[in-house]
Amino acid sequence: MDNIIRELFEHTASQTGQDFFDALVRNMSRIFGTKGAWVTEYMEKDHRLISRSFWYGGNFVREYCFQIAGSPCETVFSGKQLVHIPDNLVKLYPDANDPYTQETVSYMGVAILDDDQSIMGHLAVLDEKPFFPDSALIDVFKLFAGRAAAELKRIKAEKHLHLQIQSMLDETKISMSDDGQNDKNSVRQEDLIVMFLDLNSSTTIAEKLGNDLFFDLVREFINDVTMPIIKNLGIIYKYVGDEIIAIWKIGEGLRNANCLKCFFDTVRVFEERRNFYLKQFGIIPRFKAGMHCGKVTIGSIGSVVKETVYSGDVLNTASRITNMCNTLGAKLLISEELAKHLLSHGEFSYRKFEKINLKGKLKKASLYEFSR
């Protein structure tokens, strides 16, 4: 069974997007010995499925879609669980309007769910002969359904990021078109949540990997951290080497504890990508984060090259809090000012550190470590 997992992983680990989905279904069909395999996206409004990739009888079936009413896929979605029909599929689903189901004897499918448990799509294999996988093979199937889910989430977050970037560009165009606007008048203050997220032991890792491979690692690291931030309504303020500074408007960061969920979604991403990092770099990235909230001054600086800058004590304090993670043995530390708004969220636990000296601060601080 380890050989099956290894083979599937080797054929999909380096792929993303359409290349990943194509590699997944082609190799699942081959390794499972089925005539076909597909991964789909669910169009809830139309109650239909659109194939992300569909491999059947040795060829790809492109741009395939069908209504799920009366099909085994509908059973998968209604229960949000794995459905295995080992034989007599047509007798069980005589009303399915999918022609491939009508010529299929066996089927196994599992729903792909978003973090809020809404349906994103499904992964399935189908065959023209009875199909009786053992429990270990079913576990492999579920494992790669999880990988497909991670890729669909990444694509969804990437689309969100593109829309956000376009919105920022549009706002910039509007700002630049107003020739009478004085930069001094554009300085403003906003209540924000600020997070510093930093790669651990970066100097040691750089020495071990060398400049080029370390740069590749940082690029992958930043890409994997970016998506959970965007998904949880955060904004990337700045990349500083292997560190990311993210911000939330106070309401958006506190709503559903988005700022906290962002961190733990990031942890999950790296758990899912563990094998990729080990194969490519020989390490699993570890990271720490610090958060604080309060009024931040926002304005434009520079005459030849203009840049929007966020400044003030909130950013300095968030940076100092991040630096305390190693000292206190914590992965995530949050200021008391921010933590008091998050303590009531039952899905998180916490412990409090009192009378902590933050570098450059005269007053001792209370910090909270959150975990899930």
**Domain edges within the chain:** 2-153, 187-371
Burial class (CB in 10 A: 0-12, 13-18, 19+), 363: exposed
- End-to-end C-alpha distance for the chain, whole angstroms: 31
How high is the pLDDT of residue 176?
Answer: 43
pTM of full prediction above 0.75: no
Q: What is the CA radius of gyration of the chain?
A: 24
Per-residue pLDDT of the chain (372 residues), as tens digits, is 556 556 666 656 566 788 889 988 998 898 889 999 999 988 887 788 888 899 999 999 888 888 888 888 888 888 888 899 999 988 888 877 777 777 889 999 999 888 778 888 999 999 999 999 888 888 888 888 888 888 888 877 777 666 665 555 455 444 444 444 555 557 888 899 999 999 999 999 999 999 889 999 998 999 888 888 888 888 888 888 889 999 999 988 998 899 999 999 999 999 988 898 999 999 999 999 999 999 999 887 776 666 778 888 999 999 999 999 989 999 999 999 999 998 887 788 889 998 888 887 778 889 999 988
Contact between 140 and 4 under an 8 Å Cβ cutoff? The reply is: yes
Tell me if residue 350 falls in helix, strand or coil.
Answer: strand
Q: How far apart are CA 34 and CA 28, in angstroms?
A: 8
Strand residue runs (E) in 10-102: 36-43, 48-56, 59-60, 65-67, 83-85
pLDDT, position 226: 84
Distances from the Cα of 341 to the Cα of 88, 170, 194, 276, angstroms: 55, 33, 14, 36
- Confidence (pLDDT) at 174: 42
Within its chain, how far is the Cα of 83 from the centroid? 26
Q: How many residues does the chain have?
A: 372
Q: What is the pLDDT of residue 175?
A: 46
Q: What is the pLDDT of residue 172?
A: 46
pLDDT at 183: 52
Examine domains 2-153 and 187-371 and report if their fold is the same: no
Contact 77, 119 (CB under 8 A): yes
> 58: how many CB neighbours lie within 10 A of its CB?
10
Q: State how far the Cα of 237 lies from the Cα of 243, in Å rounded to an integer.
A: 11
Q: Which of 43, 33, 37, 36 shows the shortest CA–CA distance to 21?
A: 37
At residue 64, the pLDDT reads: 85
Please tell me the predicted confidence (pLDDT) of residue 28.
87
Which of helix, strand or coil describes residue 245? strand
Burial of 128 (0-12, 13-18, 19+ CB in 10 A): middle
What type of residue is 160? H
CATH 3.30.70.1230 matches 187-371: yes
Q: What share of the chain is helix, strand, coil (3-state, %, to 5)?
A: 45, 30, 25
Encoded tokens for 70: 């009366």
| Domain 2-153 sits in CATH 3.30.450.40 | yes
> What are the beta bridge partners of residue 246?
195, 236
